[in-house]
A and B are shown apart, each in its own frame.
Chain A
């Protein structure tokens, strides 16, 4: 009896305790961040077992904003299917899991996308030996597709629109996709173009694979939090924006200390020398300074993880700053 009552009491407590995520994170002492099960360049353990990648940096940036320490984060892997329940149930504080921002996820699922950290689009990858040069030549092909994703729906739409047929081979993770594609169980792998580059980089012989020219969808990928906790949403949103603004202002992890005595007002506001933006967010005054110091600005993170000098070789393209021909744009820091 007593035991039953105490279980009931505990479950009431557990259910009602998800109000202020920022306070929860602070009390816990570390951030729980949902990432992929391993997608090189976005979130995957590196040679030393440390999580690295654009999304991993996003998680670390938030951890730095809250704690001033890039190591105060626990990475929790999620599949395309488990990511939303994991976030909704409060098992993670945020997702940075190359997740596409769509109206139904934003509205119906009860989440809040706080920005875009990578503008992507869905593409197709085939073995070059097939001699295919366009996705429209794929009539009758077997296509490996991750279930529960927007790409799954785009795929059906694309083939329907072009009046050609395909056979879907449903897979759960990127690794499963790789395994089936490399074994020839499917002819084509389709996912976000960045994911294809990542998969190709992991192949024994990357030259044997081609990414077809068609990009069939818009896939703005970004971090998301539970809907309704605006304070926490703001923290994640501005952690991302701080990295983008830092690139705009030319502040890097190397020159950030020198920039503290800059004469540009926005730099001083960003680094917490002027104004009280940290206080507004209930963070330390130098939260953005710490992000740039410990993680770097957006460009540094991009170049280190997915840029042309990495195995993924993804040019900045759409992800360049708005001043440099891309569409990366953050609201002003003021």
Chain B
């Protein structure tokens, strides 16, 4: 009889059954967590909801380079300040870590014994000491700098103390926008120049000095315009008034500590990625290009690096993600990032722990996925194209 057949001996049925079971259990688990949380919040009389976002924060955040934040602004503004500060340190960190990482990676493959040793020690040391300790170390060094009244000064314009590095702030006057527009135009036209030169070389084999002419355009055209317009730029110099320097620009030690620690830590990992990428290109490639008579610098630029990038980019993406997520350690030195401001102070002042954490997590997720997206697009563009 049909009914006696054991359904579990049917492979298809079995797999559907178990997959449904797992998904069902997972959904049940989620439901259970949400239910329990809601129940406990209610039992402890903890108010929930998103209304607190529009309440005034009541506290001040001093490190807010993009938004002028006041204590009367809302918790939502605290959130934006935090996001911008997180993005700022992550962006600067990623750029600097990439440059330093490539440099160290290439140095480790050079034939200079001393440089190779120094790079090796750097990589092994920074990779194997927890990042948090490195952040705190940098901060402790920075706050041992001279006090604000005994600042180290350079040319009466730069001042270094344990309150940060003060420098003149550029003030753009009427007409400077033309210089800026010229700069952008020069950038765009160098891009087209490069395309045109490449096309011409592909067709005719004639070369064009793209780098020097682009450089000339980008620097000299805006500079010329700048002087024609009568130098529409002045500087606001910092000066010690009362307790602190007034005027000028300042880079705070909290930012510097975070930036240095994140850069130096991540660059060590990137350098290993770069080294492995370069080593992954077989020796034969190098020899073949040498036998074609290519210059040493061309071999690197045209043969080795493009092939190495295919190996480098995917792990590089995860290093960028790590750096961005690690920037949440800013709380250790009072860097006003997302976790410190919104996920810390706002959370604590309002008591809305779950709401704040959900928002913070969703934000990190969004940032990380965006980085991944762009890196994946870039990765696809450098892969071998089967023709």
Residue B204 lies at the interface, judged by CB distance under 8 Å to chain A? no
Within 8 A of A (CB), among B61-75: 61-62, 71-72
Tell me the minimal C-beta distance from B258 to chain A in angstroms. 14
Listed stretches A20-28, A29-37, A178-186, A235-243; interface member: A178-186
Tell me the minimal C-beta distance from A228 to chain B in angstroms. 7
B60 touches A8 (CB 8 A): no
Tell me the minimal C-beta distance from A181 to chain B in angstroms. 11
B46 touches A168 (CB 8 A): no
Closest A residue by C-beta to B43: A228
> Measured between alpha carbons, how far is A227 from B45 in the docked complex, in Å?
8
Residue B242 lies at the interface, judged by CB distance under 8 Å to chain A? yes
B143 touches A185 (CB 8 A): yes
A8 touches B29 (CB 8 A): yes
A109 touches B46 (CB 8 A): yes
Listed stretches B111-119, B172-180, B342-350; interface member: B342-350
A110 touches B45 (CB 8 A): yes
A140 touches B241 (CB 8 A): yes
A15 touches B353 (CB 8 A): no
B349 touches A148 (CB 8 A): yes
B59 touches A152 (CB 8 A): yes
Closest B residue by C-beta to A153: B58
> Measured between alpha carbons, how far is A231 from B162 in the docked complex, in Å?
52
A228 touches B44 (CB 8 A): yes
> Measured between alpha carbons, how far is A305 from B340 in the docked complex, in Å?
34
Contact with A along B47-65 (1 / 0, CB 8 A): 1000000000011111000
Most buried by A among B44, B143, B162, B344: B44
A168 touches B59 (CB 8 A): yes
Residue A202 lies at the interface, judged by CB distance under 8 Å to chain B? no
A84 touches B345 (CB 8 A): no
> Measured between alpha carbons, how far is A84 from B59 in the docked complex, in Å?
19
Q: With A138-B243, A140-B244, A153-B58 as known contacts, state yes or no: A109 contacts B336, CB within 8 Å.
A: no
Residue B148 lies at the interface, judged by CB distance under 8 Å to chain A? yes
Residue A217 lies at the interface, judged by CB distance under 8 Å to chain B? no
CB within 8 Å: A-B pair count? 110
Most buried by A among B243, B345, B349: B243
> Measured between alpha carbons, how far is A81 from B347 in the docked complex, in Å?
9
Q: With A153-B58, A156-B71, A226-B44 as known contacts, state yes or no: A109 contacts B351, CB within 8 Å.
A: yes
Residue A275 lies at the interface, judged by CB distance under 8 Å to chain B? no
Contact with B along A102-121 (1 / 0, CB 8 A): 00110111100000000000
Tell me the minimal C-beta distance from B383 to chain A in angstroms. 41
Residue B121 lies at the interface, judged by CB distance under 8 Å to chain A? no
Tell me which of A156, A171, A185, A228 contacts B163 (CB under 8 A). A185
Q: With A8-B29, A138-B243, A170-B340 as known contacts, state yes or no: A180 contacts B143, CB within 8 Å.
A: yes
Residue A274 lies at the interface, judged by CB distance under 8 Å to chain B? no
B46 touches A88 (CB 8 A): yes
Residue A308 lies at the interface, judged by CB distance under 8 Å to chain B? no
**Residues of B with C-beta under 8 A to A12:** 36
Residue B40 lies at the interface, judged by CB distance under 8 Å to chain A? yes
Tell me which of A104, A142, A156 contacts B59 (CB under 8 A). A156
A88 touches B44 (CB 8 A): yes
Q: With A108-B47, A183-B144, A184-B147 as known contacts, state yes or no: A170 contacts B336, CB within 8 Å.
A: yes
> Measured between alpha carbons, how far is A274 from B212 in the docked complex, in Å?
100
Residue B82 lies at the interface, judged by CB distance under 8 Å to chain A? no
> Measured between alpha carbons, how far is A104 from B45 in the docked complex, in Å?
12
Tell me which of B29, B244, B246, B348 contacts A142 (CB under 8 A). B244
Tell me the minimal C-beta distance from A152 to chain B in angstroms. 5
**Residues of A with C-beta under 8 A to B345:** 147-148, 152, 170
**Residues of A with C-beta under 8 A to B163:** 142, 185
Residue A85 lies at the interface, judged by CB distance under 8 Å to chain B? yes
B36 touches A15 (CB 8 A): yes
Within 8 A of B (CB), among A56-106: 80-81, 84-85, 88, 104-105
Residue B32 lies at the interface, judged by CB distance under 8 Å to chain A? yes
Tell me the minimal C-beta distance from B241 to chain A in angstroms. 7
Within 8 A of B (CB), among A288-323: none
Within 8 A of A (CB), among B217-258: 241-244, 246, 253
Closest B residue by C-beta to A126: B243
> Measured between alpha carbons, how far is A121 from B40 in the docked complex, in Å?
34
Closest B residue by C-beta to A227: B45
> Measured between alpha carbons, how far is A167 from B246 in the docked complex, in Å?
12
Contact with B along A163-177 (1 / 0, CB 8 A): 000111111100010
**Residues of B with C-beta under 8 A to A141:** 242-244
Contact with A along B317-357 (1 / 0, CB 8 A): 00000000000000100101000100011011101010000
Residue B137 lies at the interface, judged by CB distance under 8 Å to chain A? no
14 A–B contacts from the bound complex (CB under 8 Å): A15-B39, A104-B351, A140-B246, A141-B244, A147-B348, A148-B348, A152-B345, A153-B58, A153-B59, A168-B62, A183-B143, A187-B243, A227-B45, A228-B45
Footprint of B on A, CB under 8 Å?
Answer: 4, 8, 11-12, 15, 80-81, 84-85, 88, 104-105, 107-110, 130, 138-142, 147-148, 152-153, 155-157, 159-160, 166-172, 176, 179-180, 183-185, 187, 226-228
Instruction: Report the 9 A-B pairs with minimum CB-CB distance, sorted nearest first.
Output: A148-B348, A156-B71, A184-B147, A110-B44, A110-B45, A141-B243, A167-B62, A109-B351, A153-B58
Given contacts A152-B345, A168-B60, A183-B162, 7 further A-B contacts (CB under 8 A): A107-B45, A141-B243, A152-B58, A155-B60, A167-B244, A169-B62, A228-B45
